Structure 1
Amino acid sequence: MRNKKDILKLAESLMEDSRLTAALASAIERKNGRLGFLLAALKERPRTFNPYLLKGRSVYNPSVLDKKTAELVAVAAASALRCEHCLEAHMDRATQEGASLDEIMDVLLISGAISESSTLSVAFRKFKQKELKTKKQPKE
């Protein structure tokens, strides 16, 4: 059995392994037809690309949620964060996993309402802080 130091060295060597980068990129290209912009940029740095992609593979294969629900969650997040490329990719994947356009619309409406509430909440807190400071300032 390997000791902890050997395992860490192995993990670090895999992070930088350009063969792993090529294999992971090839798997994505076979599945999706191409690497998206973000992954293509990260591919130039295997030390970053490899752990990023492996983390993504673990996250996008949830242990409890079904794939359709996971993709609808991704649509909601992409919508709230205004990531056009992410929205397109995750709406496509959601429909591939069986989501209807009506389900996607519901997700967009809900995530939009939450996003709007979040924006207003942050803005109103800052406004109230400014209002309070203004009221506390002595009048000249």
Structure 2
Amino acid sequence: MKREKNKKTEGRGRPALIQEAKALLCKPELADELAEALVGKNGELGFLLKVLKERPRTFNPYLLKGMTVYKEPKALNRKTAELVAVSAAAALHCEHCLEAHMGRAVTEGATLDEIMDTILVAGAISESSMLSVAFRKYKQLEGKIKKGGAGKE
């Protein structure tokens, strides 16, 4: 049995709702409104967001996703979401992200001890990850050298 084609389609067969969403996400007016809301809350738009704002079709979904992930998480509370962000920012060495998310974590009720623990966990994982990758490469090199095939270039 053939499926009936969705009657709400436009253009290349995409549902009308998707077309509407894409059109809205590309609007500079939405970018302006989102930026104004953020500036009203934080006092400024950071470097990354200023650059992204030059492309509303990228800025708008990026900012909306961030609002959903940090401000409206499904299973985590806001403080925990910000502590997770601190952990990721620490592991990825993102100085500006650390400043932003540590500040937001405090705003959401995190203590300095909670932030310190989060950073220490991130550091332990980062260290383990680095050592795991480096030791695997080391063992590969060791195996090649023992077979007489590498390391003498």
Aligned to 2:144: 133
Distance 2:24 2:38 in 1: 18
Question: Relative to 1, partners in 2 of residues 1:53 and 1:136: Cα closer, same or farther, differing over 3 Å?
Answer: same
1:105 partnered with 2:113: no
Distance 2:18 2:81 in 1: 31
Unaligned runs of 5+ in 2: 1-6, 10-14
Residues 83-104 of structure 1: per-residue CA shift (max 9 Å, x gap):
0000011111111111111111
TM-score by length of 2: 0.85
Aligned to 1:85: 96
Q: Which structure has the larger Rg over C-alpha atoms? A: 2
Aligned to 1:49: 59
Residues 54-107 of structure 1: per-residue CA shift (max 9 Å, x gap):
111121120111111111111111110010000011111111111111111111
Deviation at 1:53, TM superposition (A): 1.0
Deviation at 1:138, TM superposition (A): 5.7
RMSD (CA atoms): 1.6
Aligned to 1:74: 85
TM-score by length of 1: 0.92
Distance 1:8 1:36 in 2: 30
How many residues are matched?
138
1:65 partnered with 2:91: no
Return the structure number with greater relative CO, CA threshold 8 A, min gap 6. Answer: 1
Distance 1:97 1:54 in 2: 19
Question: Relative to 1, partners in 2 of residues 1:8 and 1:117: Cα closer, same or farther, differing over 3 Å?
Answer: same
Unaligned runs of 5+ in 1: none
1:32 partnered with 2:37: no
Which protein has the bigger helix share? 1
1:9 partnered with 2:9: no
Distance 1:79 1:8 in 2: 36
